[in-house]
Chain A
Amino acid sequence: MAEPLKRLQSAASQDQTTRDEERILRRWTPILLRTILIVASLILAIGLFMMARQAPGAYVERFHAVQAGRIYPQDPLGKMLTQAEHGDPHAIVVFGLMVLTLVPLARVAFCFLLFIRERDWTYVAFTAYVLCGLVVGVLLGRVG
C-alpha cells in the first residue's frame, strides 16, 4: 500500500510545482516584457529626438544611403556604447535597438532560471536550447 501512496504524493507534488511555476510566470513575464519595452522605446525616442535636434542632415543622409544600398561601417560594441554615453544620437538609437532585442532574451533567461530553481529539468533543457540558439544567432551574424 505504501508504494502507490508514495506515487500519488509524488504526482501531487509535481502538480503543485507546475502550478507554482505557472503562477510565477504569469505574474512576472508581463512585468518583465512591459518594463524592457518601455525602457527601449524611451531610449529610441530620445535618440530620434536628439537626431532631429543635433544632426537632421546626417539622418537624411543615412536614410538616402540605405535607399541607395550603401552600408555604413558599424563601430564595435564598446566604442558604440562610449559614443552613446557621450550623447551621440545614432549610437543611442542603436543602443535602443539592442535593448529591444533583449526583451525576448530576458524573458527566456527568466524562465530558464525559474525552471532551475524548481528543478524542472525538461524545461531547463528546452529554455537552454533557445538561449543557445540566440547566442548562435549572434555568432552567425558576426561570421557573415
Chain B
Amino acid sequence: MLTVLGGLLALAVGAGFVGALSGLGGGVFIVPALVIVAHIPMYDAVGASLISVVATSAGASVAFVRDGWTNLRVAMVLECATVTGAVVGAFMAGHIAPWILELLFALVMLQSAYFTIQKKDVETLPGPDPLCRCLKLEGELPGDDGRPIRYGARNLPGGATLMLIAGITSGLLGIGSGALKVIAMDYVMHLPLKVSSATSNFMIGVTAGAGALVFLSRGAMAGSIAAPVALGVTAGALAGSRVLPHANVRALRAMFVVILILIALEMGWRALRGI
C-alpha cells in the first residue's frame, strides 16, 4: 500500500508545486499526471482534482484576503456565474465520453500555454462604470508607499459570461480555470492583474467545491485517490508559494509553456486513440 500511496502523494506534491510556481494551479497538472502516469480514468481524475483545487484555493487565498488583494465583492458577484457553470459542467462530465474530456483538456492546456506567454504585467486603473459602481465593485489595493490606490471595475456582463465558461470548464475537467478567470477580470473587467489573480484564487474554491459536491453526492468520488491527492497538492502548493519569490519567473514561464504543450499533445493523442 505504501508504494501506491507514496506514488500518489509524490505526484500530487509535484503537481501542486509546479501549479503554484506557474500560477496555473495544481489541477492543470494533477489531472494529466493521474491519467498518464497513474493510469486513472479521466472521470475519477477530475473528481480527485476538484477536491484538491478546493483545498489549494482555501490555503492560498488566506494571505491575499487578509492583506487586501482580493476583491471580495467582485468574487461574490462573479461566483453566481462560475457556480452555475461548475454545476452544469460537473453534471455533464458524468455523461460525456472520456475521449471528449481528454480532447477538451488538451485544448485548455494550449489556452493556458498561450495565456502564460501573453501574461502582461502592466496595470491600468480606470474608474468604475455605473453598474459596477452601483454594486460597489471598486476597491483599493496596497500601494508601494503604504498608501491605498483606488481602482474601478468595468464590463460586468462580459466578465460574468467568461466566468460562466470558466465554471463549465472547471466542473468538466477538474481544474480551477484560473487562467480564464484572470482573463475575465484583468482583460475584460480591467481590474489590476494582482487583484485579478488574488480574486480568481479565492473564487476557484467555490467553483471547484460546486463541482466536487456533484461528484460526491453522485457517489463518484474515489476517496482512496482523492484524499492523498488533496493532501499532496496542498502541501506542494504551499512549498511552491514559498519558493516563488526567489525563482526566475521568465525562465519558469518558458519551461511551463513547453510542459503544457507536451501534456496537451499527449492528452490530445490519448483522445484520438479513444475515439
Partner-contacting stretch, out of B15-23, B53-61, B187-195, B255-263: B53-61
Q: Is the CB of B135 within 8 A of A107?
A: no
The minimal Cβ–Cβ distance linking A12 to chain B, given in whole angstroms, is 14
Q: Is the CB of A137 within 8 A of B65?
A: no
Interface residues of B in 55-107 (CB under 8 A from A): 55, 57-59, 61-63, 65-66, 68, 72-73, 76-77, 79-80, 83-84, 86-87, 90-91, 94-95
Q: Which residue of chain B has its CB nearest to the CB of A115?
A: B76
Residues of A within 8 Å of B220, CB to CB, are 71, 141
Q: Is the CB of B58 within 8 A of A36?
A: yes
In terms of DSSP, what is the predominant structure of the interface of chain A?
A: helix
Q: Does A78 contact B (CB under 8 A)?
A: no
In terms of DSSP, what is the predominant structure of the interface of chain B?
A: helix
Interface residues of B in 211-240 (CB under 8 A from A): 211-228, 230-231, 234
Residues of B within 8 Å of A141, CB to CB, are 90-91, 213-218, 220
Q: Is the CB of A107 within 8 A of B206?
A: yes
Residues of B within 8 Å of A121, CB to CB, are none
0/1 per residue, A50-64, Cβ < 8 Å to B? Answer: 011000110110110
Q: Does B205 contact A (CB under 8 A)?
A: yes
A36 CA / B94 CA spacing, docked (Å):
28
The minimal Cβ–Cβ distance linking A38 to chain B, given in whole angstroms, is 10
A26-B66, A123-B76, A137-B87 are contacts. A96–B209 as well, Cβ < 8 Å?
Answer: no
Residues of B within 8 Å of A103, CB to CB, are 54-55, 58, 205, 209
A108 CA / B230 CA spacing, docked (Å):
21
Q: Does B210 contact A (CB under 8 A)?
A: yes
Q: Is the CB of A41 within 8 A of B234?
A: yes
Q: List chain A positions with a Cβ less than 8 A from chain B.
A: 18, 22, 25-26, 29-30, 33-34, 36-37, 40-41, 44-45, 47-48, 51-52, 56-57, 59-60, 62-63, 66-67, 69, 71, 73-74, 90, 93-94, 96-98, 100-101, 103-105, 107-108, 111, 122-123, 126-127, 129-130, 133-134, 136-142, 144
Given contacts A33-B61, A51-B1, A108-B206, 16 further A-B pairs with CB under 8 A are A26-B66, A29-B65, A33-B62, A34-B58, A41-B234, A51-B224, A56-B2, A66-B40, A66-B44, A97-B212, A100-B230, A101-B209, A104-B58, A126-B76, A134-B87, A138-B213
